[in-house]
Amino acid sequence: MSEAAIPKEWTATWNLFDDRRTGFVSHVDLKHILRSLGRRHTEAEFHALLANLPDPAPFAAFTRLMQQPYNGPNENDLLAALRAFDHQGSGTLRLAELVVLLSSLGEKMPEGEVRQLLSEVPTDEEGNLNIEALARFLVTPVAISPEEIS
């Protein structure tokens, strides 16, 4: 892919992590970049994607990864999964229950990371998260440029 054909969003996101402009980022940073651009791979999928790449990985490897087809989960998939835990059918989940679930099931997240992530989603007076607001938050891409961050 020629440099002119590389989407500006890809380059801008890469440059947030490659602040010294070395042309390389660590695998950890590469996962953050891919997630920032909407790639919602599991840890196992990331492991497979990055297994044959050097660490740190070059920009060219990143652009090759981004050119691969991706059909990850969408907002409707996430809504269906979250509603499975809404036993009362209220459209909400208890924040405390969700913290326990995310830090103990499947690809476990450290409790501190779960709390930090969910702190950006508003709760009602009883500590409940609206399922639709949570799903929308989780699928919304993160800011890609310094202007969007501020």
Q: What structural domains does the chain harbor?
A: 7-67 (1.10.238.10), 75-139 (1.10.238.10)
pTM of the predicted model, to two decimals?
0.58
Interacting residues of 77 by C-beta distance below 8 A, sequence separation 6+:
none
Q: For 133, how many CA atoms within 13 A lie in the half-sphere containing its CB? A: 14
Percent of residues, the chain, with pLDDT higher than 70: 92
* pLDDT grade for 149, boundaries at 50, 70 and 90: very low
Per-residue pLDDT, 147: 56
What pLDDT was estimated at residue 146? 53
Taking the C-alpha atoms of residue 89 and residue 108, their distance in angstroms, rounded to an integer, is 26
User: How far is it, in rounded angstroms, from Cα 110 to Cα 113?
Assistant: 5
Q: Quick one: DSSP state of residue 112?
A: H
Alpha-carbon separation of residue 73 from 44, 84, 114, 135 (angstroms): 15, 16, 19, 11
Question: Which pLDDT does position 142 carry in this prediction?
Answer: 64
Please give the pLDDT value at position 138: 84
Lowest mean pLDDT among 3-7, 96-100, 129-133: 3-7
How do residues 39-83 score in pLDDT, each as one tens digit? Answer: 888 889 999 999 999 999 999 999 999 999 988 778 898 899 999
Q: Which two tokens stand for residue 120?
A: 């950006």
142, two tokens: 């993160």
